[in-house]
Structure 1
Amino acid sequence: MSLSRRTFLQQASVISTLSLAGLPYAVRAESANEYWWSAGSDHSDGNGVAGFSDNGNSRLLETGFRGHGLCVSPDDGRIVMMARRPGMRGAELTADQNLTLFDVRPGRQFQGHACFSADGARLFTSEIVDGGDGRIGIRNAHDFSWLGEFSSYGTEPHEIKMMPDGVTLAIANGGLTPSADDGRTADKNALVQSSLVFIDSRDGRLIHKYSLPENKASIRHLDIAPDGTLVIALQVQRQWLDDTEPRALVAIRRPDEPLQLLEAPGNLWLALRDYMGSVVIHPDYGVAGVTSPRGNLVVFWELSQGKLLGYFPLHDVCGIALSQQHDCFVVTNSAGDMRFIDPVSLKELKPLRRHSDTVRWDNHLLGPLPVSV
């Protein structure tokens, strides 16, 4: 870490400490509320799009299917949520709380994630055909009519996001060949053909393709910094390994550099139980937070040097996003808890703690958004 950055973080830490005294929150409380949305469920197992505001309001809009990832249109703030395995439907939520459902095409399955084109005109969806070959579906983003598809240049594409150039799609190919019984690879001897792929969203041309040195690791989720740095969350298929050695679960790809695994002590990797669930980058601090619901931890890395900063414990934590108003990380879990974490001290900002008695949060969190709860 450079001297200038260390000085900056020390100064930010002082500001964070003062914030905990309460005065800045009294001032910020007068500002407009922020809203986050996630796939979620209620206590009667109704599934839908779940919303939460920083004043504690929450609600669930039922869709009839369990959702997974969400994305937001850059032009009008509409939210799209995609179904998880088996992915047969998607849902759109407008700013005035209208829900529209759309279906996958015959012979395809949605894979839990989507993203909009830079102008908001097209919706790209991660999909598979029979056998697991990856496709990126292309739809009209307003009426969801079919426009075409590209290859994902891999097996089982999962999260997809648009790069800062507004043209290049980043694709996390999970590499798990679906089987008839559970939708995942059944053969322990099969390689997990995972890859990070970049394609041109205008014509589907392959730009770059990167693989991991560990052939039992699946690239699942990613986030992208404004400079094009990607942080990637991995899941290792331990049931197909013949040892108990720790495996790295987070990777980074900086512009014009190869894909690299981030470092952490072996006992931390083992505590995370081979599973990272979601990732978000705080661009102002150059810090990434990655959640592990199996390990009950959120782990943080500084990105310029790839240095492990620390972790925050929360049972079954998976959703993670940012708060602009409070300048911090926001995390959620399946118990309806919402925690706000300072990006410098990595401590909870307890005056902001929230809990929903009606909504159980699912894997991913999106926000803050203009769609109110």
Structure 2
Amino acid sequence: MGLPNNGRRQFLGGLLAAGIVPQMTWADAGSPAFLSAAVKPDGNFVLCGIGEDLSIRFELPLPARGHAAAAHPTRPEAVAFARRPGTFAVVIDCMTGAQKAVLTSPEGRHFYGHGAFSSDGRLLFTTENDYEAGRGCIGVWDAQKSYVRIDEWDSGGIGPHDIKRIPGTDTLVVANGGIDTHPDTGRTKLNIATMEPNLAYIEAGQVIGTASFSAEWHKCSIRHLDVSQNGTVAFGMQWQGDGPVDMLVGTHRYGEKIDAFAASPQDMRNMQGYIGSIASSADGRFVAVTSPRGGMVQIYDVLSAMLVRTLALEDVCGISVCGDWFVATAGTGALRSISKGQQNTLQAAEFAWDNHLVRI
């Protein structure tokens, strides 16, 4: 049996006093399975570590509202991103709560709220808007040297939002939403008539391929991603057109065509044209998506590309894989585990969970 958190900290403190510097791991931070930003009733913003049993393992202060986070692959360290269009991100030691570094976007850039680490944890990649040029870019930061910015790459499109690493590789996949914005006009979308969303694959700074829809679907903004262990990319979209939309979810494998998932017109209407988050099951067989606008969770079978389950949950947005299926979070404070046979809801009413539930 492991030491409780306070005993572990005392033990580690003794090692440090003796001049022994141990390698910290996520187990030293309470073995959280997920990270999520939240708002407390007093208006303070926090980053929480959540266990697979949905217990809160830690609660650390944030300077402003968070959107998503990136978990370091080995050490208990997280990069919490401000809600877009934010210009800062905070690196937090999840053992102590100490702020280790602050990432500030260069002049003429802002973050989109997401980031991903390289497989060895040496580099952090951030999605950014070069808003004067109207192009997307990927910031490259050295996580070994206090997160100094060392490079900048083209994202392969406009409006890069989510970014993930293909497991077992250092290939990145980017959701270029296609929407041009500028801080002078807030979140106003400037190019809906001409937007061209895509998935872009990047290796060592070079865009090695993109995937997109035909022109008739160019208003389906690809926003959020998850990647299964076999490299299949699942993506969720946000519809920018008028009238109903026929698809909001799909999958893609590098070098192949995009597969769009089917659902009834009513199921599409229930999502109100908006996917807030997405997750793939551990075996890659199922994909779950959320709509905070519609208050719905939908689960698709990847093999049939069909909707197989729906679940109503008010203000739901965060979704992640948990065990053999999923867990969801909501702005109401709810945490709900979703299994194939039953549902268990735990309430954490003191928190209003923000957009994303990030698997560590």
One-letter identity of the residue aligned with 2:329: T
Listed as ranges, the matches of 1:1-373 within 5 Å are 34-53=32-51, 54=53, 56-57=55-56, 60-96=59-95, 97-100=97-100, 101-131=102-132, 132-142=134-144, 143-179=146-182, 180-186=184-190, 188=192, 190-200=193-203, 202=204, 204-213=205-214, 214-238=217-241, 241=242, 244-284=243-283, 286-324=285-323, 327-342=324-339, 344-345=340-341, 347-348=342-343, 350=344, 353-367=345-359, 369=360
The question of whether the paired residues in 2 share the 8 Å contact of 1:60 and 1:359 is answered with: no
Counterpart-to-counterpart distance in 2, 1:245 and 1:285: 29
Q: Measure the CA separation in 2 of the matches of 1:280 and 1:133.
A: 27
Report the RMSD for the aligned CA atoms in angstroms: 2.0
**Partners of 2:57 and 2:351 in 1: CA distance:** 7
CA contact (8 A) 2:260 2:305 kept: no
In the alignment, is the contact (CA less than 8 A) between 1:227 and 1:255 conserved in 2? no
Letter in 1 for 2:320: A
Q: Alpha-carbon deviation of 1:60? A: 4.0
Give 1:165 shift.
3.8
| Kept in 2: contact 1:156–1:175 (CA 8 A) | yes
SS of alignment partner, residue 157 of structure 2: strand
**1:25 match:** none
Following superposition, the deviation at residue 322 of structure 1 comes to 2.4
Q: Supply the distance in 1 between the matched residues of 2:325 and 2:249 (Cα, whole angstroms).
A: 21
Counterpart CA distance in 2 for 1:310 and 1:38 is 25
* 8 Å CA contact 1:291, 1:319 repeated in 2: yes
Runs of 4+ in structure 1 over 4 Å off: 32-35
Counterpart secondary structure, 1:270: helix
Query: Does the CA contact (< 8 Å) of 1:47 and 1:62 recur in 2?
Result: yes
CA positional deviation for 1:285: 6.0
Q: After superposition, what is the alpha-carbon deviation per residue over 1:208-234, rounded to whole angstroms, capped at 9, x for unaligned? A: 111123111100001011111111000
- Matched AA of 1:270: R
For 2:130 and 2:54, locate their aligned partners in 1 and report how far apart those are by CA, in whole Å: 43
d(CA) in 2 for partners of 1:33 and 1:157? Answer: 31
CA distance in 2: counterparts of 1:273 and 1:153, whole angstroms: 28
Structure-1 separation of matches of 2:54 and 2:279: 23
2:315 alignment partner AA? D
**Secondary structure in 2 aligned to 1:269?**
helix
Gaps in structure 2 of 5+ consecutive residues = 1-29
SS in 2 for 1:155: coil
Which whole-Å deviations, capped at 9, do the CAs of 1:89-132 have from their partners, x for residues lacking one? 11222231323332222221011100000110000000111233
**TM-score scaled to structure 1, two decimals?**
0.81
Query: Matched residue of 1:268: which SS?
Result: helix
User: Does the 8 Å CA contact 1:247/1:274 hold for their aligned counterparts?
Assistant: no
Which sections of structure 1, spanning at least 5 residues, go unmatched? 1-31
One-letter code aligned to 2:348: S
- Take 2:92 and 2:201, find their aligned partners in 1: how far apart are those partners? 28
2:14 matched to which residue of 1? none
**How much identity, in percent, do the aligned residues show?**
31
Amino acid at match of 1:49: L
* In structure 1, C-alpha distance between the alignment counterparts of 2:106 and 2:141, rounded to whole Å: 11
Q: Matches of 2:83 and 2:131 in 1, distance apart?
A: 16
Quote how far apart the aligned CAs of 1:187 are.
5.2
What SS does the corresponding residue of 1:154 show, helix, strand or coil? coil
2:235 and 2:114 map into 1 onto residues whose CA distance is 15
Q: What is the CA–CA distance in structure 2 between the aligned matches of 1:187 and 1:253, rounded to whole Å? A: 25
Partner in structure 1 of residue 19 of structure 2: none
Deviation at 1:139, TM superposition (A): 0.4
